Amino acid sequence: MDFNFARNANTDWATWKNYLRQAMEFAEELGIPRDKIQSLANQAGDLLAQNVAPANPEQQLLKELWTVADQTERQTLARLMTKVVNQ
């Protein structure tokens, strides 16, 4: 798995979701609990919102939602993204 986060973020939506799914599966294989994975997703959301330009309309929407959300809402967005990529 290619762990270059910024490079993998700059792709189409389907590829981005697949990358996130693979990262989650890898974390689960390492025995990382689901709540910790969701916490890491929250940190990744902060990183992306601050440092990576959205590569597609879906990422742009997520960035806009992330920007206006409070911490509780961001945690919800992170949990929802983990659900989306596991579909």
pLDDT at 32 over 70: yes
pLDDT of residue 5: 59
Give the pTM: 0.79
Q: What is the pLDDT of residues 37-51, one digit of tens each?
A: 888 888 888 888 888
Rg of the Cα trace of the chain?
Answer: 12
What does the block give as tokens for 67? Answer: 């920007």
How far apart are alpha carbons 82 and 52 in whole angstroms?
19
Q: Which residue has the higher pLDDT, 56 or 11?
A: 56
pLDDT tens, position by position, 52-81: 888 899 999 999 999 999 999 999 999 999
Tell which phi-psi region holds residue 12, choosing left (phi > 0), alpha (psi between -120 and 50) or beta. Answer: beta
